[in-house]
Amino acid sequence: MLAMLKRPFVLGLLLVTILGFSQVNAQVPSSIESPAFFPASDHADLTKNDISALAVAPYSAKMALIKSLLLPGLGHKYVNDGQWSGWALAYTAADVSLWLSLLGGEWHRNSLITSYETLASGSANADLSGKNRSFYLNLASFESSDVFYETMLRNRAWDQIGYVSDPAFQWEWDSEESFNEYRSLRNDAESLRRRKTILIASLVVNRLLSGAISARKASRSSTSSVSMALSAPVESIPVLSLRVGF
């Protein structure tokens, strides 16, 4: 099941990475051709309607950015005369893949949580009402509350000794098999929880990339300005800065 959920996750991240490296520094040619390149003799025969047809209405960088934030790819479609270009489809496909992975992962994580809570209640006789994440971690780390108590004494963790004095915080696994199954289920759920953060960040980055590139293209035919750059890393994570002027 986890392998199936990883496919759209990997596909989405791969598409976002490719889109970012391919388009951040891409030069987008202008779609407006100046009538000055036409021979003088041709200009004499142009009617007012002909001249209007040569001029392309400027696009709004603000609108391109807003559309991309709603759905990556819509901004590209907007500046491409309403046509779905290759880049528009690529950004949209990346967004759909990431959303499928996120929703599927959350559904599977909730299923895992229900499974290991049921197991802890039935096989470890644990009272789970009102318990925080630390209690579940202790259930996965110690076979019983007695083992937890002895370990804290041995490590001289005096502030933790009284943790299991309350019967509501005591437990004992009925078998090593149940203990290992609980640990496996919880580890899978924690893995999906960490991956959720990466997926949400990827959804945001995909929108920013799509918005910046489509707004930049729109600004070529208007007075708007768009710039995007990678700043110095903060705690080893590069910072993406986006500046749009209208």
Whether 99 is covered by a domain: the verdict is: yes
CB atoms within 10 A of CB 51: 11
Whether 144 is covered by a domain: the verdict is: no
Collapsing DSSP states into helix, strand and coil, what is residue 19? helix
Q: Which pLDDT belongs to residue 50?
A: 47
Tens of pLDDT, residues 1-35: 555 555 555 555 555 555 555 554 444 444 434 44
Instruction: Indicate the burial class of 164 (C-beta count within 10 angstroms; 0-12, 13-18, 19 or more).
Output: buried
Whether 139 is covered by a domain: the verdict is: no
Q: What are phi and psi of 6, to 5 degrees?
A: -75, -25
The b/e string for 165-201 (b: 16+ C-beta within 10 A; e otherwise) is eeeebbbebeeeeebebbeebbebbbebeebeeebee
pTM: 0.65
Query: Do 82 and 214 contact (CB within 8 A), yes or no?
Result: no
The b/e string for 97-126 (b: 16+ C-beta within 10 A; e otherwise) is bbebbbebbeebbeebbebbbebbeebbeb
Q: Which pLDDT belongs to residue 70?
A: 93
CB-facing half-sphere around the CA of 145: CA atoms within 13 A: 20
CB-facing half-sphere around the CA of 20: CA atoms within 13 A: 19
Q: Which of 29, 36, 9 is nearest to 216 (CA)?
A: 29
Whether 184 is covered by a domain: the verdict is: no
Whether 148 is covered by a domain: the verdict is: no
The CA distance from 56 to 37, in Å, is 16
Q: Which pLDDT belongs to residue 117?
A: 96
Q: Which pLDDT belongs to residue 24?
A: 46
HEC string of 127-149 equals: CCCCCCHHHHHHHHHCCEHHHHH
Question: DSSP states of 185-218 as a string?
Answer: HHHHHHHHHHHHHHHHHHHHHHHHHHHHHHHHHH
Tens of pLDDT, residues 98-133: 999 999 999 999 999 999 999 999 999 999 999 999
Whether 192 is covered by a domain: the verdict is: no
Domain count for the chain: 1
Whether 90 is covered by a domain: the verdict is: yes
Q: What are phi and psi of 26, to 5 degrees?
A: -70, 145
Give the structural domain span for 90: 2-123+197-245
Query: 156 to each of 135, 149, 152, 160, 182, how far by Cα in Å?
Result: 20, 10, 6, 9, 27
* Pair of tokens at residue 172: 């004992």
> pLDDT by residue for the chain (246 residues), tens digit each?
555 555 555 555 555 555 555 554 444 444 434 444 334 444 444 454 544 444 445 788 899 899 999 999 999 999 988 889 888 999 999 999 999 999 999 999 999 999 999 999 999 999 999 999 999 999 999 999 999 999 999 999 999 989 999 999 999 999 999 999 999 999 999 999 999 999 999 999 999 999 999 988 888 755 545 455 555 555 555 555 555 554
Whether 24 is covered by a domain: the verdict is: yes
Collapsing DSSP states into helix, strand and coil, what is residue 113? helix
